Structure 1
Amino acid sequence: MKKIDNFLIIEKNGDIYTIYPSAELQDDIGTTGFLQYQKDKKHLKKGDLVLTIEASKAVLYVRTPISGTIIEINENAIKKPDLINSHLDNENWIVKLKDVNFEEFDILEDY
């Protein structure tokens, strides 16, 4: 099941929720040159800053559309930021969450 909010795609696979940039967002920001995760937080509330993206067309502050606990960040994208511009979901993902507030997820627009 996939939902979308503010050009972020949220995919539910069992108990894991993965957040990706949409193709429109990738196009709007241009080529990504630098990523900085907010590593001081493990549990995110809806609206918390999770990632700063510096790209050719914009600097983007990515805020989580749902509350949950971070289980993984895209370490490969830190080393190679242009992976965020990939069209492959196994490369361009931002963060993986568990213990998500399902009501927050459920009210998002279907993708």
Structure 2
Amino acid sequence: MKKYAKTHEWFDTETGLVGISNHAQEQLGDIVFVDLPQVGKEVKKGEVILSLESVKAAGDVYAPVSGKIVEVNEKVSATPELVNQDPEGEGWLVKIEPTNPSEIEELLTEEEYKKILEGE
């Protein structure tokens, strides 16, 4: 199940995959570069874990939960447009092994996230 951060990242509670929401990729525009972090890096919830560069802006991606980065999606380094084409699927960015499972409960459901978007 996917849960969302107010900063437009999603976290798959079953796989630990993290990416940006469809809304976020629409705001960024055509992504041309993905700066992936090192596998093994420890991250804290809310910390910048990587940046994305698009033709119109650069955007930071924040850790939706604290944990350890156990995998990065090398495909998006070679083919950054995957993030635009399938932001909540093949365009995932990193896999995090959570160290504080209670933080997952603080994330938003898809319905709650959509309500926030409607309020923007």
TM-score tier (shorter): 0.7 to 0.9
CA contact (8 A) 1:17 1:100 kept: no
> In the alignment, does 2:38 pair up with 1:45?
no
Gaps of 5+ in 1: none
Q: Which moved more, 1:22-31 or 1:87-96?
A: 87-96
Q: What RMSD, in angstroms, separates the aligned Cα atoms of the two structures?
A: 1.7
Q: Which residue identity is paired with 1:3?
A: K
Identity %: 30
1:24-39 to structure 2, matched below 5 A, reads 24-39=23-38
Aligned to 1:55: 54
CA contact (8 A) 1:38 1:49 kept: no
Aligned to 2:95: 96
Structure 1 Cα separation of the partners of residues 89 and 106 of structure 2: 25
Local SS of the residue matching 2:90:
helix
Deviation at 1:85, TM superposition (A): 0.9
Aligned to 1:20: 19
Gaps of 5+ in 2: 111-120
| Structure with the higher strand share, 1 or 2 | 1
Count of aligned positions: 109
Local SS of the residue matching 1:25:
helix
Local SS of the residue matching 2:16:
strand
